[in-house]
C-alpha cells in the first residue's frame, strides 16, 4: 500500500519545522498539558534536584564554580545549589547544569538519546528565581524545553550521536526554547533564540578516551548558552531562521540521517516529556540494559561472580561507540562508561550505585579481574530496535561449562518499568546525602514543594538559604 499523501498543513510543518516548533512553544499553555504529564514533570524535577546536589565536591563542578565566582557577581538572585552561593542566573545555570550531570543519575530520553533535565531545569530555575516567576510558569517552560529538545535529538539521528554528545547539542536548543517560554517570547523571537542557540551547539565524545571533564562542560554550556540565546532574542538580537533544517544548519553539519518529520511529530498530542526514563544505576545509560539482564540471570540461576568465566553483552552499535574507548578506566566518572566495570559491580555486589563507584570501582582488585571477563558484541536485533527500545541481552559461560542467556525487554526506569513515587523520592534523598548536598530535612521539604510546584507563587521559595 502506498503512503497517503500529506495534507498541505502537514507538508508545511515539515518544510518549516523550526518555525512550527516555535509556534508550538509560543502557544503552549499550562492548561494544554495533560495532568498526568504535569505530574510526571514534577517527578523529573525531584530526580534532577537530587542529581544536582550529588555533584557537590566533584572537581569539574568546583572548577566551574570558581570560574563563576571570578567572572560573575559576588551576590545575585540565583542559587548555586551545591554551595548555596548566590550569583547571576547565567552562572547559576552553568554550575547547576554541570553538577546535575556528573554522577550519571540524571534522566534520559531513549529515542533521542538525550538527557533533558540537566540542561532544561538549571536555566529555567535560575532565571525564574531572578525574575520572580511562579512554579506554574516553570513547569510550562520545562515541558516546552523537553518537547523541543527531545524532538531535535530524534531529528539529528544516530549518525549525529556517533560523534556528538546530543545533550550538548540538542540541549542548547532545548534550553533556549525553555527559557524563551519562561520569558514569554513570541514565535518570531523564539525562532531567533533557537537560531542563536543552534549556532553555539557543541559537544564531542572524544573526551571519553582521556577521562577528561568535558561532559560537564557540555551541559554547563548548553544551559547557559541557551539562556544567553533567549535573553538576546528578547532584546532584539536575531538568529538563523532555519538553524535546524537549513542548508548550512545543524543537520547539514552534524548528521547524515536526519528526519525533519521528527521535529514536529505529534506536537500537542504526543507528550515526549512523559517518555523520559529515570536512571537506576549510577552509570552511562548504555550499560543499564546489560546490567539489568545480568542481575536477573544471576538471581534466576543463583550464580556468584566466581561462577562466571565470560560475559558477552549483546548491544546496539552506539553502546560500542560510546563505551568501547574505555578499556582501563582511570577515574570514577570514566568507570561509569566501562561496561566491564558496571557488570563487575553487579556480579560482585548486586549494585552499581554511587557508593559502589566511589569506593569499589577503581580499588577492588576483584572488579578489575571481572572486567577482563566482559566484552561487548553488536547484536542485529538489539541494534535494529535502538534507540526507540533499549533491550538488555547477554549470554555468559559458567565455570562448569554452561552457556546461559538473559533478556530484559524494559530496563528499570523506562516508562514501561518506571520508578514508583517512593523509589523516586528515596533515590533523590540518597543523591542529596551522597556528599551532603542537603540534609534529609531540607531535601524532604524541597521534595514536598516540588510535588506542589504549580502552586508556588515564586520559585525562590523552593531552595533553602
Long-range contacts of 292-295 (CB under 8 A, 24+ apart): 292/392, 292/408, 292/411, 292/412, 293/392, 293/393, 293/394, 293/406, 293/407, 293/408, 294/343, 294/346, 294/347, 294/394, 294/396, 294/406, 295/346, 295/350
Q: What is the dihedral of CA 318, 320, 323, 327, to 10 degrees?
A: -170
Phi and psi, residue 292, nearest 5° = -65, -40
Using 50, 70 and 90 to split pLDDT, how confident is the model at 13? low
- H-run or E-run covering 79: strand 78-80
- pTM for the full model? 0.95
DSSP state of 376: E
Phi and psi, residue 457, nearest 5° = -70, -35
Q: What is the CATH number of domain 285-412?
A: 3.30.1330.120
Extended beta strands in 319-383, E state = 374-378
Encode pLDDT of 333-369 as tens digits. Answer: 999 999 999 999 999 999 999 999 999 999 999 999 9
Which pLDDT does position 464 carry in this prediction?
A: 83
Percent of the chain predicted with pLDDT > 90: 96
Residue 25 has pLDDT above 60, yes or no: yes
Which pLDDT does position 348 carry in this prediction?
A: 98
Q: What is the CATH number of domain 8-275?
A: 1.10.4100.10
- Ordered by start, the domain boundaries in the chain are 8-275, 285-412
Encode pLDDT of 28-76 as tens digits. Answer: 999 999 999 999 999 999 999 999 999 999 999 999 999 999 999 989 9
User: Distance between CA 349 and CA 301 in Å, rounded?
Assistant: 16
Amino acid at each position: 500500500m502506498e503512503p497517503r499523501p500529506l495534507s498541505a498543513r502537514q507538508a508545511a510543518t515539515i518544510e518549516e519545522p523550526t518555525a512550527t516548533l516555535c509556534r508550538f512553544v509560543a502557544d503552549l499553555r499550562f492548561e494544554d498539558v495533560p495532568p498526568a504529564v504535569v505530574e510526571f514533570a514534577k517527578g523529573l524535577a525531584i530526580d534532577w534536584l537530587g542529581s544536582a546536589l550529588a555533584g557537590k565536591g566533584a572537581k569539574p563542578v568546583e572548577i566551574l564554580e570558581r570560574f563563576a565566582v571570578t567572572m560573575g557577581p559576588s551576590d545575585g538572585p540565583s542559587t548555586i545549589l551545591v554551595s548555596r552561593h548566590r550569583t547571576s542566573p547565567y552562572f547559576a545555570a552553568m554550575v547547576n547544569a554541570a553538577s546535575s550531570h556528573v554522577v550519571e543519575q540524571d534522566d534520559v530520553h531513549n529515542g533521542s538519546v538525550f538527557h533533558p533535565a540537566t540542561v532544561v531545569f538549571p536555566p529555567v530555575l535560575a532565571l525564574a528565581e531572578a525574575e520572580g516567576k511562579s512554579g506554574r510558569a516553570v513547569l510550562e517552560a520545562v515541558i516546552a524545553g523537553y518537547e523541543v529538545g527531545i524532538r531535535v535529538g530524534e531529528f539529528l539521528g544516530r549518525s549525529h550521536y556517533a560523534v556528538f554528545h546530543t545533550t550538548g547539542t540538542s540541549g542548547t536548543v532545548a534550553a533556549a526554547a525553555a527559557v524563551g517560554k519562561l520569558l514569554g517570547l513570541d514565535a518570531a523571537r523564539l525562532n531567533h533564540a533557537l537560531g542563536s542557540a543552534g549556532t553555539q551547539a557543541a559537544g564531542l565524545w572524544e573526551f571519553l578516551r582521556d577521562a577528561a571533564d568535558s561532559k560537564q562542560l557540555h551541559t554547563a554550556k548548553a544551559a547557559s548558552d541557551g539562556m544567553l540565546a533567549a535573553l538576546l532574542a528578547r532584546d532584539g538580537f536575531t538568529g538563523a531562521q532555519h538553524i535546524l533544517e537549513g542548508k548550512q544548519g545543524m543537520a547539514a553539519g552534524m548528521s547524515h540521517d536526519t528526519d525533519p518529520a521528527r521535529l514536529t511529530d505529534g506536537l500537542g498530542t504526543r507528550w515526549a516529556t512523559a517518555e523520559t526514563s529515570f536512571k537506576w544505576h549510577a552509570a552511562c545509560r548504555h550499560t543499564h540494559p546489560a546490567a539489568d539482564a545480568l542481575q536477573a540471570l544471576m538471581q534466576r540461576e543463583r550464580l556468584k561472580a566466581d561462577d562466571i568465566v565470560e560475559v558477552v553483552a549483546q548491544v546496539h552499535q552506539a553502546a560500542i561507540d560510546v563505551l568501547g574507548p574505555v578499556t582501563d578506566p582511570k577515574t570514577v566518572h570514566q568507570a561509569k562508561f566501562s561496561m566491564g566495570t558496571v557488570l563487575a559491580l553487579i556480579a560482585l555486589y548486586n549494585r552499581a550505585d554511587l557508593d559502589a563507584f566511589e569506593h569499589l570501582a577503581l580499588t577492588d582488585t576483584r572488579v578489575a579481574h571481572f572486567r577482563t571477563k566482559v566484552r561487548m558484541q553488536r547484536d542485529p536485533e538489539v541494534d535494529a530496535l535502538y534507540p526507540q527500545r533499549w533491550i538488555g541481552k547477554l549470554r555468559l559461560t559458567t565455570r562448569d561449562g554452561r552457556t546461559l542467556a538473559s533478556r530484559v525487554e524494559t530496563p528499570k526506569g523506562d516508562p514501561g518499568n518506571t520508578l514508583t513515587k517512593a523509589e523516586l523520592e528515596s533515590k533523590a534523598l540518597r543523591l542529596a546525602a551522597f556528599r551532603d548536598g542537603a540534609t534529609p530535612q531540607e531535601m524532604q521539604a524541597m521534595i514536598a514543594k516540588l510535588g506542589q510546584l504549580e502552586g508556588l507563587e515564586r520559585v525562590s521559595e523552593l531552595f533553602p538559604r
